[in-house]
Amino acid sequence: MFGGMYAHGRVGAQVGDTAWLHALLDAEAALARACARAGVIDAAHAEAIGACCVPERFDASEIGRAAAASGNPVVPLVRELTRAVGGDAARHVHYGATSQDIMDTAAVLVSRRASAVIQDDAAAVADGLAALADAHRSTLMPGRTLLQQALPTTFGLVAAGWLQAVGTASQRLGTPSPAQLGGAAGTLASLGEAGPRVAAAFADELGLAEPVLPWHTDRGPIAELTGALARMCGAVGKVAGDIVLLAQTEVGEVIEAGGAGVGGSSALPHKRNPVAAVSARACAGQAPGLAAALYAAQAQEYQRAAGAWQSEWLPMTQLLRVTGSAVAWLRTSVERLRVDPKRMRGNLDLTGGLPLAERVTTDLTPDLGRLPAHDLVKAACAEAVESGRDLADVLTERLDGRRTAAQVAALLDPAGYLGAADTFIDRAIAAHRSRAAKEDDKAEEKEHG
């Protein structure tokens, strides 16, 4: 019923039951190969085990049901895998590992694969935002603080801020995660002297980082992943929330230009809701609760946890799912977004120059002093609001020759009071290009081994 919203885009396929089963089997196959590389088992046995680690050979639902007896799905999976392998090689299925080794490593694989999809969508979002920032660097609009007009800004700078938030959040998702192999109590005792070699080969087989030592009850890697996902949801929620506000009828500065039926209402034929931004915000809004559950699971007792470890699987899966969905929805929103520069300028002009009051104060300070200048401009603003007169006329009268009408009009021109907006836009775009170049270099390096 809710999959269309909360399993949006490509992330769903990376975190579902089949994806978890695939990751668990990848870990088992890698373990067999690692044992063979370390001389612990025959290479032919490792090959036989790997040949059976095919998701289509197993029923994820049945394994899930059987997991109730042991408290995790690895135990029934290993039983089924051992049966499938058969012969002498079956003796070496799951050799030297404990269930948590396979489950934690599978979690890392699932998160890595899901994160790659999330980063790909985030890169498309960032490209779109960079284009908006550059195209609208001179598009004037009200800057708003506490939901009220403050100083003028440009939509280009607003988009640049969105770009930097999404781009830096995406970087965090690229942090390498470690494999897990420690055996029953984190000593790898069953593998003897070969234990460290097997652990190193295991990580290498999967393309994962090798940890200094097993992290069964040191949940730092999960906490770091949680933080990265929560940060991404925070960035998406901010951008989507701004789009929703800017698309309000009374504001009307942007619109999601979807096709027929997109953004419609069941009751109101005229509605054009920014449904992609709304959906992105809804997905991102679930992150805090899920992150809290994962952070709460960090305090785990002794060498292996009783309950806290197991409590991670569902919130981690759901956090990956809603983060990926949020980014995918934001991608759709940015692709649909249409900007209305005239409406932005019209909204800025609604207050008759009030957002430029600070500039007038700054200009008068050398003549009058900071506090008298502030009080004079404040009184002029109050009179303009109460009387409905234009601020420029009120100021010209109150300044009584200190500034001409033309000088006051120039001070109240928002185009002349944008500070370092252009510089900040250039910085955000440059940072985006730098991040993209690094990702391209990484992809090329991975492709060429």
User: Where do the structural domains in the chain lie, given as residue ranges?
Assistant: 3-127+155-340, 353-411
CB contact set of 55 (below 8 Å; sequence gap of 6+): 18, 21, 22, 25
Is the Cα torsion angle 185, 173, 294, 24 positive or negative in sign?
Answer: negative
- Helix, strand and coil in the chain, % to nearest 5: 70, 5, 25
pLDDT for 269? 41
- Find the length of the chain: 449
Q: What is the CATH number assigned to the segment(s) 3-127+155-340?
A: 1.20.200.10
Beta-strand runs (E) in 43-200: 140-145, 148-154
pLDDT at site 268 = 37
What's residue 265's pLDDT?
43
Report the 10 Å Cβ neighbour count for 335.
14
Q: pLDDT at position 264, please? A: 47
Asked if residue 300 lies in contact with residue 217, where contact means CB atoms within 8 angstroms, the answer is yes
Contacts 24+ apart (CB under 8 A), 384-388: 384/352, 384/353, 384/354, 385/354
pLDDT tens digits for range 371-423: 999 999 999 999 999 998 989 999 999 998 889 999 999 999 999 999 999 99
Query: Is residue 304 annotated as part of the catalytic site, yes or no?
Result: yes
Encoded amino acid at 426, one letter: D
- Residue 262 has a pLDDT of 58
Say which residue the tokens 């934001």 belong to.
330
Per the annotation, the verdict on 281 as an active-site residue is: no
| pLDDT value for 449 | 62
Q: What is the pLDDT of residue 267?
A: 40
Q: Which residue among 304, 343, 345, 398 is the active-site one?
A: 304
CB contact set of 374 (below 8 Å; sequence gap of 6+): 361
Point out the residues of the chain with pLDDT beneath 70.
258-271, 448-449
Q: What is the pLDDT of residue 435?
A: 94
Q: What is the pLDDT of residue 266?
A: 42
- Of 57, 70, 91, 265, which is the active-site residue? 265
CATH superfamily of 353-411: Fumarase/aspartase (C-terminal domain) (1.10.40.30)
- Give the tens place of pLDDT for each residue, 82-133: 999 999 999 999 999 999 999 999 999 999 999 999 999 999 999 999 999 9
What pLDDT score was predicted for residue 401?
82
